[in-house]
Structure 1
Amino acid sequence: MDRTHSPINSILEQAAYIARRKKETAGTLEPTESYKRGQTKELIDFAKSNNLWISLSELNVEFLSKGGENEVYTGNKDNIVIKLNNFEYAGDDLENFFIRINAHNKLFGNVPYQMIGFAYNSQQEFCAVLIQPYILAEREATEDEIATYMKALGFEMDYYDEYHNSEYEVFDVVPNNVLYGIDGDLYFIDTQIRTRS
């Protein structure tokens, strides 16, 4: 599963470039609903031609949970969480997914995502395969702890689970998406982020 020495320097950056390029090529000739379909096809071709398919049956993983966009597994020996993300929250443009992952890594670098390839989930949906460190948590963070942390990062609160600064909007920042680690740090493991228009 270690793709550090993959011929692809950064799968995330390459995939983001493919999604952006496909959208730019389509331009205004195609309705936005077709962006995602074309981007998905390009990413499937990218995965095939670069041997980036991951089979969960070949990995020593255990199912943890399923949410709106992720099936989550743990790699027992690697202290990681594996997320199969079906791009559900990207809307009609997969570039939104890559923007979100890059923004997450910039804002919450203590629990970064790394993209290691592609797979089909249990519903046979095309997914990005992401890994994150497995966080040893004492508990979920409280709303007050989250608000204090976000304020320290320069964000203003719009609603109890939504924040913004001049560049990003971060939402779905609820206690079950933010863990209070045994080291006393907060870990934002599953928020939604978009650029401000």
Structure 2
Amino acid sequence: MDRTHSSINSLLEQAAHIVRSQKEAAGETEPTEGYKRGQTEELIKFANANGLWISLPNLNVEFLNKGGENEVYTGDKDDIVVKLNNFEYAGDDLENFFIRIAAHNKFFGNVPYQMIGFAYNSQQEFCAVLVQPYILAEREATEDEIATYMQALGFEMDYYDEYHNSDYEVFDAVPNNVLYGIDGDLYFIDTQIRLRS
């Protein structure tokens, strides 16, 4: 697989298709908790078959921070952020992760995720390896700035950090997850997004 000449979402789309296909194949025979295990096994096979394992030392990155689902690293030139996402917030179905990343790229395209492969994090958890642009921020965005931005995108506010439109719910849109860039734009770097039920 030639990742140098593939489109930005090619790997993301392929992995999402594998996850969906595994879920459809399991159908009603598999309890919901079993989806994630089967989906993870299929993604590991996909990574093995296509040489998609990422070695952090080869990326020349340094550890920056750790959150609930991500170990975050920054590149040596500070132009990218690498996130090892352990699928924690996907629940029992990895399709939720891929829905979230695709929706993020749709709504917050000024700071898109690109999936570059798979790795195991420091806790030996299977992870998607995501890359985002490193944002030069003047400060964290304010709650009012976030609300104004989300309303301009057609979202309604439910709580100070939660919004919805007809298809999606965006939550955890708090100041430390939204940066006010030195260019005056807002950058939603780490919100949660899910389909409305």
Instruction: Give the shorter-chain TM-score range.
Output: over 0.9
- Distance in 1, Cα, partners of 2:186 & 2:24: 38
Partner-residue secondary structure (3-state), 1:27: helix
**Which TM-score applies when normalising by structure 2?**
0.96
- Find the counterpart in structure 2 of residue 27 from structure 1: 27
Deviations 1:144-167 (A, max 9, x none): 000000010010000000000011
CA distance in 2, matches of 1:177, 1:92: 24
The code of the aligned residue for 2:170 comes to V
Residues in 1 aligned to 2:9 and 2:188: alpha-carbon distance in whole angstroms: 26
Residue 9 to residue 93, structure 1, CA distance change in 2 (3 Å): closer
Equivalent-residue separation in structure 1 for 2:9 and 2:90 (angstroms) = 24
RMSD: 1.6
Summarize deviations over 1:88-140 as a string: whole Å, max 9, x none: 00000000000000000000000000000000000000000000000000000
Helix, strand or coil for the counterpart of 1:166? coil
Aligned counterpart, 2:51 = 51
Q: Secondary structure at the match of 1:63?
A: strand
Letter in 1 for 2:105: N
**Which residue in the other structure is 1:184 paired with?**
184
Provide the rounded CA distance (Å) in 2 between the counterparts of 1:37 and 1:75. Answer: 31
Instruction: Name the one with the larger helix percent.
Output: 2
Alignment map for 1:37-48 (pairs within 5 Å):
37-48=37-48
Q: How far off is 1:76 after superposition?
A: 1.5
- One-letter amino acid matched to 1:134: Y
Long gaps (5+) in structure 1 = none
Identity %: 86
Flag as ranges the 4+ runs of structure 1 deviating above 4 A: 6-9
Matched, 1:13 2:13: yes
Query: Alpha-carbon deviation of 1:57?
Result: 1.9
Residue number in structure 1 paired with 2:89: 89
Aligned-partner residue type, residue 31 of structure 1: P
- Where in structure 2 are the equivalents of 1:95-134 lying within 5 Å? 95-134=95-134
**Structure 2 residues not aligned, in runs of 5+:** none
The TM-score normalised by the length of structure 1 is 0.96
Whole-angstrom CA distance in 1 between matches of 2:151 and 2:9: 35
Structure 1 residue 77 displacement after superposition: 2.3
Separation of aligned partners in 1, 2:183 and 2:34: 45
